[in-house]
Amino acid sequence: MRIGIGYDSHRLVAGRKLILGGVDIPSDKGLIGHSDADVLCHAIIDALLGAQGLGDIGNHFPDSDPRWKDASSIELLRETVSRAQQNGFSISWVDSVLILEKPRIAPYIKSMKENISNTGIPAERISIKAKTNEGMGCIGRGEGVAAYAVCTLRST
């Protein structure tokens, strides 16, 4: 069994969509990044890559490569899941936490799980939680969003 941990954060800005877990969430601000800046998918990607000893998202989908400009992070996750399977691993569990002040995420978690499960991770093996930062720091001031993910992989 292998265990991986992932983390990502992006700034919130006006004029961008807020995409989390592949869901377009109504908001007056969205995340800025080279791709769609989906911090949840990015954290899961990093966890999956880490569990395989393959580095991080920047090694595989660098922001210096124009192929990944405005890329769907769900598609990047799909490719990462496929790589794990090709490398002889099945995904046993993904546990994740989104940290942001607003908007409230609970109504969107089911859709996020569905989107993520469409990448090849069974829905019953995905946990997504949402927390605020209780008004503290840059996340608490509504300047950004962060996500953590942990995964376990089993050799097939």
Q: How many of the other CB atoms lie within 10 Å of CB of 102? A: 11
The pLDDT, as a whole number, for residue 120 is 97
Residues 116, 80: contact at Cβ < 8 Å? no
pLDDT average, residue stretch 67-83: 95
End-to-end Cα spacing for the chain: 10
Under CATH, which number does the domain 2-155 receive?
3.30.1330.50
Q: Up-side HSE of residue 104: CA atoms within 13 Å toward CB?
A: 2
* Percent of residues, the chain, with pLDDT higher than 90: 95
pLDDT score of 105 more than 90: yes
pLDDT average, residue stretch 115-141: 97
| pLDDT per position as a tens digit, 24-68 | 999 999 999 999 999 999 999 999 999 999 999 999 999 898 888
pLDDT score of 75 more than 90: yes
Instruction: Name the nearest CA neighbour of 79 among 112, 120, 111.
Output: 120
At residue 4, the 3 state secondary structure works out as strand
- Whether pTM > 0.85 for this model: the answer is yes
Q: Up-side HSE of residue 56: CA atoms within 13 Å toward CB?
A: 10
The pLDDT, as a whole number, for residue 35 is 93
Q: How far is CA 25 from CA 86, 109, 138, 151, 155, in A?
A: 32, 11, 20, 25, 36
Domain ranges of the chain: 2-155
